[in-house]
Amino acid sequence: MAAGLHESTIHELQEKLRRGDVTASEITEAVFSRIEAVDGRIKSFITIMRDSAAACARRADEAIRAGKAGPLTGIPIAVKDIMCTKGVRTTCGSRILENFFPPYDATVVRKLKEGGAVIVGKTNMDEFAMGSSTETSFYGITRNPWDLGRIPGGSSGGSAAAVAAGECIASLGSDTGGSIRQPASLCGVVGMKPTYGRVSRYGLIAFASSLDQIGPFTRDAEDCAILLNAICGYDPLDSTSVPVETPDYRSFVGKDIKGWKFGVPREYLIEGIDPEVAGLMEESIGVLESLGAERVDISLPHTEYCVAVYYVIAPAEASSNLARYDGVKYGYRSPDARDLIEMYRKSRSEGFGAEVKRRIMIGTYALSSGYYDAYYKKASQVRTLIKRDFEEAFRKCDVIVTPTAPTAAFRIGEKTDDPLQMYLSDIFTISANLAGIPGISTPCGYTGKGLPVGLQLLAGHFQEGKLIQAASALERNAKFEKRRPAL
């Protein structure tokens, strides 16, 4: 059965647009028809931008007729509601920003527009990106298109669900501890966290500044390469942006991996990993071996400290970053405060949700006088050891292979009362953020209940091309049948 326009890939639509088989306006209309049909059940979006998207699609058609098409002209793309969009509400999934309309675009949003993309809306997310299930949003829970009783992952659950459900062709998310890769796995799409510093964070509302990174959700590795080409590059507006040359990531698609070494870290084969997930990972490794790659066992000895280190560093940085939301210059202000101190207290207590408050309190404690050395400083030192583990491992292998998440999507409400169990959802993804390396999640099969599972591939700093090459090879030779959610 041929895919509808809303189910197509970027590269398929580019070819149709080039041949004149379809217009950008027709593609955009197909996407909005899909949003109308299914988003009432999924809740992928916080803000839908129908009028501006239709106008942008008309301009795209004019550009194509004039022979001036850009790399994304006419392609409907959604953006996580943590990236500033000029004149369009940007909430971070929080009440405290329910009426925030940024005066400028994030650099990635500007690059999408310059590339001709049609931005269709702002996607739902865990509040301030703090969560693994998209259950902490002030604007409601996002549901997994594969099973509406299950979570889509988080914090970029809306972006992942929108791509999986055909409500956009691709999307952008942000990844602080796995927030692109984990929902990509749980929703059966491709999701990449680039190297820290590869994509500008200017206009990305900060959660944990030394960990946050923007990346793409797509339907295949080639689309991931196309979107990476559009958003990567040095930005003088971002002090953490690194001035390194960006290759053409599309050139890595379809290359063979013969002679490559794939490292499997023994520390990741833990108790608690779902046997079906472990089995699908082994099958994927078998596919890679059949293509001439070699499996090598490696060690990442400080893995056991990753979750503890992350949940000191990330809340500490969040505590500092979220201090700006005080009800004074912008954002929610409590209407019934009698003095300045009460306004601060009430605005923050009414504006933030429970998970955000929990992390602010943890972070404030970790940074407080007398505890900084014991917590934040010590965690930063262990972070350096984790980074060195990866540097040593990449001397023995080209790419590291792990599960993306320990299980497939769990049920809505299953872990909301147990923060520690929720935090462990990101046990395989956190280390890449701590080390600053790139990682991709690519679909590798389904559980017996028909839920998608992702395989995580990790590479050295600025080696996103290797990840595209490996994911593309796996995708083209995968043994499992490709499915779509039956909505």
pLDDT digits over 17-66, tens only? Answer: 999 999 999 999 999 999 999 999 999 999 999 999 999 999 999 999 99
Residue 254 amino acid letter: G
Q: Spell out the residues 6+ positions from residue 287 whose beta carbon is closer than 8 angstroms to its own.
A: 474, 477, 478, 479
Q: Measured between alpha carbons, how far is 123 from 110 in angstroms, rounded to an integer?
A: 17
pLDDT of residue 479: 87
pLDDT value at residue 397 = 98
Residue among 74, 44, 92, 376 nearest 212 (CA): 92
Global pTM reads: 0.96
What does the alpha-carbon distance between residue 403 and residue 333 come to, in Å, rounded to a whole number?
43
- CA distances for 4 relative to 26, 166, 470, angstroms: 11, 9, 28
pLDDT tens for each residue of 52-71: 999 999 999 999 999 999 99
Q: Is the pLDDT score of 313 beyond 60? A: yes
Q: To 10 degrees, the CA torsion angle through 137, 141, 142, 147?
A: 150
What pLDDT band is residue 269 in, cutting at 50, 70 and 90? confident
Upstream peptide bond of 320 is cis (omega within 30 degrees of 0)? no
CB half-sphere exposure, 298, CA atoms < 13 A: 25
pLDDT for 419 equals: 79
Take residue 155 and report the two structure tokens written for it: 């914090």
CA separation for the pair 192, 213 (Å, rounded)? 10
Taking the domains of the chain in order of start, what are their residue ranges?
5-259+464-477
Q: Does residue 348 contact residue 233 with C-beta atoms inside 8 Å?
A: no
Percent of the chain with pLDDT over 70: 99
Q: Is the pLDDT of residue 386 over 70?
A: yes
Instruction: Compute the distance between CA of residue 244 and CA of residue 275 in angstroms, rounded to an integer.
Output: 41
Q: Is the pLDDT of residue 133 over 80?
A: yes
Q: How far apart (Å, rounded) are the C-alpha atoms in residues 186 and 423?
A: 16
| Catalytically active residues, by annotation | 80, 155, 179
Determine the Cα–Cα distance for residues 3 and 376; give it in Å rounded to an integer: 50
The dotted CATH code for 5-259+464-477 is 3.90.1300.10
Query: b/e map of 150-187 (b: 16 or more CB within 10 Å)?
Result: bbbbbbbbbbbbbbbbbbbbbbbbbbbbbbbbbbbbbb
Cα separation, 93 vs 73, whole angstroms: 29
- Whether the pLDDT of residue 128 is over 60: the answer is yes
- pLDDT on residue 1: 35
pLDDT band for position 420 (50/70/90)?
confident
Query: Alpha helices of 137-259 — where are they, by DSSP H?
Result: 157-164, 181-187, 221-231
Q: How many other CB atoms are found less than 10 A from the CB of residue 391?
A: 12
Give me 316's structure tokens: 């500490």
Q: How is the beta sheet containing 294-298 ordered, strand by strand?
A: 45-48, 118-123, 76-80, 170-175, 213-218, 190-193, 439-446, 452-458, 399-403, 261-265, 294-298
List pLDDT tens digits, range 181-232.
999 999 999 999 999 999 999 999 999 999 999 999 999 999 999 999 999 9
Q: What is the mean pLDDT of residues 368-374?
A: 90
Question: What is the CA angle 438-12-73, rounded to 5?
Answer: 80
Pairing of strands 118-123, 76-80: parallel
Q: How confident is the model at residue 487 (pLDDT cuts 50, 70, 90)?
A: confident
Contact present, 88 and 50 (Cβ < 8 Å): no
> pLDDT-derived band of residue 260, with 50, 70 and 90 as boundaries?
very high
Confidence grade of residue 418 (pLDDT, cut at 50, 70, 90): confident
Mean pLDDT within 261-275: 90
pLDDT for the residue 421: 81
Between CA 349 and CA 11 the distance in angstroms is 46
Parallel, antiparallel or unpaired: strands 452-458 and 439-446:
antiparallel
Helix (H, G, I), strand (E, B) or coil at 431: helix
183 or 3, which is more confident? 183
**Residue 44, CA distances (Å) to 120, 131, 210, 423 in order:** 12, 16, 27, 22
Mean pLDDT score across all residues of the chain: 96
Name the burial class of residue 51, with classes exposed (0-12), middle (13-18) and buried (19+) by CB atoms within 10 angstroms of its CB.
exposed
Give the model's confidence band at 3: pLDDT under 50 very low, under 70 low, under 90 confident, else very high: low
Distances (CA, A) of 3 to 7, 17, 30, 181, 478: 5, 16, 12, 25, 20
Compute the distance between CA of residue 61 and CA of residue 130 in angstroms, rounded to an integer. Answer: 39
